[in-house]
Amino acid sequence: MSTAKKSAVSLAGLLELVETSTIASIKGTVGGILTLISDPAATSADFIQFIQLDPPLAAKILRVTNSSYYAPTQTISDIHQALIWIGFDTLKEIILTQKMSELYGGGAPVDGYSRLLLWRHSLAVALLAKAIYSREFSEKANSAYAAGLMHDIGVIVEDQLLHQEFAQLVQTLGNTPQVLSVGEIAVFGFDHGMVGKGLAENWNFPPELTEGIGFHHNPDGAREEHRLFAKTIFIADYLMSEHYGYVTMPPPDREILERHVKDIGLPWDVLQASVEQVREDMEKIEQGGAYQVA
């Protein structure tokens, strides 16, 4: 049985490393788009102006908009046309998704884990979280998508900045499956939710998003006003791990899932239909080449 070596880096030390790493390169764009998403007064003109300040991002948005997933009737050559075709809310998601995808390129697979699998999982969770919140709390759909997309950002931080220890942990999970956060605490002294929450606080993410990322494994620990939001991310993460997992580990207690589903008031048949729709969407996304890692 392999064992993971204990890390000497503290959570505070790891968050300091983030600020001097390539991960910090997305900080400005991600922070800007999240500010706009959380601002009810933000207009389409604000988003277009934001995009035009980043030509490579604009090019990626046009590539995605012209993919078979969105299937335009003619080639879309500028952001105004893209906005008309895909809509305001979808444009928000594409901006965030394209920027986040930059973190998931490269890296050698380790015992069934890869950054690509982690990216697929994150995207699937984003889609399901959005579907759940679109039905139950429609005004928060973009925030739910963002939280789902970034809920495991702590994992990619560990992978990139504590790679040797993280790889050893993944190997340990392959031999003796356990919940990832349990293994992380044993090796690092913190888990990826704590890393994600710390990063979100340092980058001034909106409080709801910070809580959703930080407490997606233990929603009851979130502040009361953000608890249902965190439970939504938990549910999406749990169910998408069954279809789009990225490490070997047993699922959390099913009773916990059932309790959180009951708490948000979502009928099981509707939830299952949403899961199947996300699986169909993921297949179309992958076949159409949309949202590829950078």
Confirm if 237 and 216 have CB atoms less than 8 A apart.
yes
Residue 1 lies in a domain: no
Residue 181 lies in a domain: yes
Q: Which residue, among 152, 186, 194, has the nearest Cα to 169 in the 3D structure?
A: 186
Residue 22 has pLDDT above 80, yes or no: yes
pLDDT of residue 37: 87
More confident residue, 177 or 231: 231
pLDDT averaged over every residue in the chain: 92
Residue 3 lies in a domain: no
> 65: phi > 0 → left, psi -120 to 50 → alpha, else beta; which?
alpha
DSSP readout, 115-164? Answer: HHHHHHHHHHHHHHHHHHHHHH-GGGHHHHHHHHHHTTHHHHHHHHHSHH
Q: What is the mean pLDDT of residues 218-240?
A: 96
Q: What is the mean pLDDT of residues 183-204?
A: 97
Residue 6 lies in a domain: no
Confirm if 228 and 261 have CB atoms less than 8 A apart.
no
Residue 247 lies in a domain: yes
pLDDT of residue 2: 45
Residue 4 has pLDDT above 60, yes or no: no
To the question of pTM greater than 0.95 for the whole model, the response is no
How far CA 178 is from CA of 151, 174, 257, in Å, comes to: 19, 9, 18
Residue 264 lies in a domain: yes
State the CATH number of the domain containing residue 74: 1.10.3210.10
Residue 237 lies in a domain: yes
Residue 95 lies in a domain: yes
Q: What is the mean pLDDT of residues 79-104?
A: 92
Task: Provide the number of structural domains found in the chain.
Answer: 1
Residue 140 has pLDDT above 90, yes or no: no
Q: Give the structural domain span for 255.
A: 11-288
